[in-house]
């Protein structure tokens, strides 16, 4: 463009040649746009339309000339009118995709006109036009094939015989010798046969070449498609490797980091239960811990290393809880509106992943409104589904960006601000829930995302059972988190036995009274939590409720929810007590 090159703008006058070139290109494009399936016919269609158009114009000119010469309706006028109408009808057939019927009709019409000419004028007067009479054979052979060529040759020989018969009948009147007529007829017939054989060879080679060309083009398109598919496959493989590397990195740090966050959350719970310590500072510490937990869940969730904890919960409660993390994102520059229904909206999802999806969409909305605006989050019911609408008045997105926003690692943000994984997490949440998400956005008109999630079956959300006197075996290797969990369980009235690894847990199993609940971390110094819980369950068959806590699920076998409940770190002590109470009450 001239402004990109720094050149001064001067309006270039439109040249007459440019107009004609543009018209020719548009005309050829129009001629090629015919609904013909066969590749050869589709290639021949533009040329046939041009030929039919020119022939129709010549027919119209002949019609006008015959009318002006005779001034009345004569045979010449009728023939010209019929020929012109037939040519226009053939052109209409081609535009309708009826290529072969149009060619057949045109071919038969030409042969009929040649036959009529021989009948009217005889053979001798047509001698100078016999070479031109071979052109329809060439046309029919090229467009319809060798069979049509030989049928046309037979028709042309019949026309020659007809013309010869006319000359013999008129021989006495015009002073012709019948032997000369017979010689002319034999010479003309031989010419037609020789020309037909030559055309047959020429047309056969030509059609083979055209077929070969079409096959090469088809092979080229197939090869191009295979190469594109290979490139897509390689891109998907590279993306999968990125996700795998990301998951390995995340899983390497998640265990220790989540233990630290768990300790923070545990002390927050103790502070809340202590008079005089609840308030804004405690809430800020808890929100900071939750934001740290969400960061690890983003990495673990995209790397498919985080165990899903599907549960039945009220989506309104989850949205209200997530708002404590969403509102600080906008820092007062954006007006935040929340609309929730008065009645509960139960769904079956991973609660943490749902809150993470809301946070990701809110983060994108914040980045789309650097100068401020309006952020709206609402929940209602539509056709038996929970509808969550997240809308902003930001810069919006063009259609090509909307099509790609759910692709992992796709982002329009600078490299230091966007990772391209947020909307991929949202897409996976919707797919796992068998829901739907619609995105309505346009540049300068903001963005509106509508999530539709299936409502859970009717029924009361489980309540916690009283845990007084419940015997618990707690296995946790972290020296800071273990006493916090034991203290919280003891405060709830549980009788807690603590072990720091699998060997100590098995030793306690030999002497302790049969526990009702087993709580174990997945990663232990000498074993894993699943193997330990199965060994303990075998030691106390049908005597315990089993609960396992874990930070990740890579290399973790598929679990039956009726046997082992999953609780993802970091979690509050209230979450642990709620899950234990629900499992004991089930």
Res 429: pLDDT:
83
The CA distance from 381 to 341, in Å, is: 9
Answer whether 0.75 is exceeded by the pTM.
no
Taking 80 as the threshold, does the pLDDT of residue 74 lie above it?
Answer: no
Of the pLDDT bands very low, low, confident and very high (cuts 50, 70, 90), residue 371 is confident
Res 55: pLDDT:
82
Taking 70 as the threshold, does the pLDDT of residue 157 lie above it?
Answer: yes
Of the pLDDT bands very low, low, confident and very high (cuts 50, 70, 90), residue 2 is very low
List beta partners, residue 382: 385
Res 122: pLDDT:
79
> What b/e string do you get for 385-395 counting C-beta neighbours within 10 Å, with b at 16 or more?
bbbbbbbbbbb
- Mean pLDDT comparison of 76-90, 438-452, 474-488, highest-scoring range: 438-452
Segment 229-247 mean pLDDT: 74
Taking 70 as the threshold, does the pLDDT of residue 556 lie above it?
Answer: no
Average pLDDT over all residues of the chain: 78
Taking 80 as the threshold, does the pLDDT of residue 447 lie above it?
Answer: yes
User: Hey, what are 418's tokens?
Assistant: 């966007």
**Which residues, other chains included, contact 102 with Cβ-Cβ below 8 Å and sequence gap of 6+?**
48, 52, 90, 91, 93, 94
Pinpoint the alpha helices (H) of 13-134: 16-32, 39-70, 75-95, 99-121, 130-133
Listed range (71-85, 214-228, 389-403, 503-517) with the worst mean pLDDT: 71-85
3-class SS at 329?
helix
Give 452 or 416, the one with higher predicted confidence.
452
What is the Cα Rg of the chain in Å? 43
Taking 70 as the threshold, does the pLDDT of residue 3 lie above it?
Answer: no
Q: Specify whether the CB–CB gap between 432 and 419 falls below 8 A.
A: no
The CA distance from 453 to 339, in Å, is: 17
Of the pLDDT bands very low, low, confident and very high (cuts 50, 70, 90), residue 76 is low
Q: End-to-end CA distance of the chain, in Å? A: 71
**Which residues, other chains included, contact 175 with Cβ-Cβ below 8 Å and sequence gap of 6+?**
none
Ramachandran sector of residue 145 (left: φ over 0; alpha: ψ -120 to 50; beta: rest)? left
Taking 90 as the threshold, does the pLDDT of residue 261 lie above it?
Answer: no
Q: What dihedral do alpha carbons 193, 196, 198, 203 form, nearest 10°?
A: -170
Distances (CA, A) of 378 to 123, 280, 315, 333, 342: 91, 26, 11, 20, 12
Q: For 178-235, how does the pLDDT look when each residue is reduced to its tens digit (9 = 90+)? A: 777 777 788 888 888 888 888 888 877 877 777 787 788 888 888 888 888 888 788 7
Taking 80 as the threshold, does the pLDDT of residue 250 lie above it?
Answer: no
Listed range (222-236, 308-322, 357-371, 403-417) with the worst mean pLDDT: 403-417
Distances (CA, A) of 220 to 36, 197, 223, 284, 457: 21, 34, 5, 63, 54
Helix or strand run (H / E) with residue 200: helix 178-273
Listed range (149-158, 276-285, 351-360) with the worst mean pLDDT: 276-285
List beta partners, residue 339: 378
Q: Specify whether the CB–CB gap between 482 and 474 falls below 8 A.
A: yes
Listed range (72-86, 437-451, 483-497, 548-562) with the worst mean pLDDT: 548-562
- Mean pLDDT comparison of 84-88, 257-261, 303-307, highest-scoring range: 84-88
Res 461: pLDDT:
52
Which domains are seen in the chain, by residue range?
A: 18-224 (no CATH), 308-454 (3.30.565.10), 471-585 (3.40.50.2300)
The CA distance from 264 to 293, in Å, is: 11
Listed range (11-20, 274-283, 551-560) with the worst mean pLDDT: 551-560
User: Hey, what are 121's tokens?
Assistant: 């004028």
CA 497 and chain centroid, separation: 54
Provide DSSP, 345-366. Answer: -EEEEEHHHHHHHHHHHHHHHH
Give 106 or 309, the one with higher predicted confidence.
106
Res 14: pLDDT:
44
Q: For 344-364, how does the pLDDT look when each residue is reduced to its tens digit (9 = 90+)? A: 899 988 887 888 889 889 988
**How many percent of the chain have pLDDT more than 70?**
77
Q: For 112-153, how does the pLDDT look when each residue is reduced to its tens digit (9 = 90+)? A: 888 888 888 777 777 777 777 788 888 888 788 888 888 888
Res 10: pLDDT:
44
Q: Specify whether the CB–CB gap between 120 and 170 falls below 8 A.
A: no
The CA distance from 504 to 281, in Å, is: 39
- Mean pLDDT comparison of 242-251, 274-283, 355-364, highest-scoring range: 355-364
Taking 50 as the threshold, does the pLDDT of residue 463 lie above it?
Answer: yes
Backbone dihedral angles phi then psi of residue 310, each to the nearest 5 degrees = -75, 130
User: Hey, what are 404's tokens?
Assistant: 């790609």
In terms of C-beta distances under 8 Å and separation of at least 24 residues, what long-range contacts does 263-267 make, across chains too? 263/478, 263/480, 263/481, 263/484, 264/288, 264/289, 264/570, 265/289, 265/570, 265/571, 265/572, 265/573, 266/481, 266/484, 266/485, 266/488, 266/572, 266/573, 267/484
Segment 300-318 mean pLDDT: 70
The CA distance from 134 to 152, in Å, is: 9
Give 271 or 488, the one with higher predicted confidence.
488
Give 30 or 499, the one with higher predicted confidence.
499
The dihedral through the CA atoms of 244, 248, 253, 259 has a sign that is positive
Q: Is 167 exposed, middle or buried (0-12, 13-18, 19+ CB in 10 A)?
A: buried
User: Hey, what are 310's tokens?
Assistant: 């599907």
Q: Specify whether the CB–CB gap between 141 and 199 falls below 8 A.
A: yes
Q: Specify whether the CB–CB gap between 427 and 406 falls below 8 A.
A: yes
């Amino acid at each position: 463009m001239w402004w990109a090159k720094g050149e001064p703008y001067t309006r270039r006058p439109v040249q007459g040649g440019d107009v004609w070139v543009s018209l020719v290109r548009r005309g050829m494009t129009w001629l090629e746009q015919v609904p013909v399936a066969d590749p050869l016919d589709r290639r021949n269609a533009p040329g046939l339309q041009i030929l039919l158009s020119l022939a129709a114009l010549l027919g119209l000119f002949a019609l006008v000339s015959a009318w002006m010469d005779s001034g009345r309706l004569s045979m010449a006028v009728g023939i010209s009118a019929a020929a012109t109408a037939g040519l226009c009808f053939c052109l209409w057939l081609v535009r309708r995709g009826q290529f072969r019927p149009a060619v057949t009709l045109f071919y038969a019409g030409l042969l009929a006109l040649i036959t009529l000419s021989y009948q009217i004028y005889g053979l001798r007067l047509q001698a100078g036009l016999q070479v031109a009479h071979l052109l329809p054979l060439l046309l029919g052979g090229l467009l319809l094939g060798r069979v049509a060529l030989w049928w046309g040759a037979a028709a042309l020989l019949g026309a020659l015989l007809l013309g010869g018969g006319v000359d013999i009948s008129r021989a006495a009147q015009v002073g012709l010798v019948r032997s000369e007529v017979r010689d002319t007829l034999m010479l003309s017939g031989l010419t037609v046969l020789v020309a037909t054989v030559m055309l047959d060879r020429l047309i056969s080679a030509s059609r083979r070449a055209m077929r070969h060309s079409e096959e090469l083009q088809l092979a080229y398109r197939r090869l191009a498609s295979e190469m594109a598919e290979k490139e897509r496959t390689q891109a998907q493989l590279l993306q999968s490797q990125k996700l795998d590397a990301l998951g390995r990195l995340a899983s390497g740090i998640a265990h220790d980091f989540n233990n630290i966050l768990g300790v923070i959350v545990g002390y927050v719970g103790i502070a809340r239960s202590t008079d005089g310590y609840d308030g804004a500072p405690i809430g800020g510490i808890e929100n900071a811990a939750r934001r740290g937990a969400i960061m690890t869940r983003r990495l673990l969730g995209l790397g498919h290393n985080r165990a899903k904890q599907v549960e039945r919960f009220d989506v309104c409660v989850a949205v209200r809880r997530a708002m404590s993390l969403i509102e600080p994102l906008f820092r007062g520059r954006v007006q935040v509106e929340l609309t929730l229904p008065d009645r509960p909206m139960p769904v079956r999802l991973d609660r943490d992943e749902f809150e993470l999806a809301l946070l990701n969409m809110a983060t994108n909305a914040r980045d789309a409104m650097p100068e401020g605006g309006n952020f709206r989050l609402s929940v209602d019911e539509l056709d038996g589904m929970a509808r969550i609408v997240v809308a902003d008045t930001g810069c919006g997105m063009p259609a090509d960006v909307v099509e790609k926003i759910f692709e992992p690692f796709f982002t329009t943000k600078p490299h230091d601000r966007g990772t391209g994984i947020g909307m991929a997490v949202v897409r996976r949440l919707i797919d796992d829930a068998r829901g739907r998400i619609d995105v309505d956005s346009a540049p300068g008109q903001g963005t509106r995302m509508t999530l539709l999630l299936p409502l859970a079956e009717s029924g009361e959300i489980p309540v916690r059972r009283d845990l007084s006197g419940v015997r618990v075996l707690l296995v946790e290797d972290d020296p800071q988190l273990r006493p916090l969990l034991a203290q919280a369980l003891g405060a709830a009235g549980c009788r807690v036995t603590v072990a720091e690894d699998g060997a100590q847990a098995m030793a306690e199993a030999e002497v302790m009274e049969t526990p009702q609940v087993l709580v174990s971390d997945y990663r232990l110094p000498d074993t894993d939590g699943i193997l330990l819980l199965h060994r303990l369950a075998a030691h106390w068959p049908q005597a315990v409720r089993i609960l396992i806590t874990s930070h990740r699920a890579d290399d973790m076998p598929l679990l039956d929810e009726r046997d082992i409940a999953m609780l993802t770190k970091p979690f509050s002590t209230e979450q642990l007590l709620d899950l234990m109470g629900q499992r004991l009450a089930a």
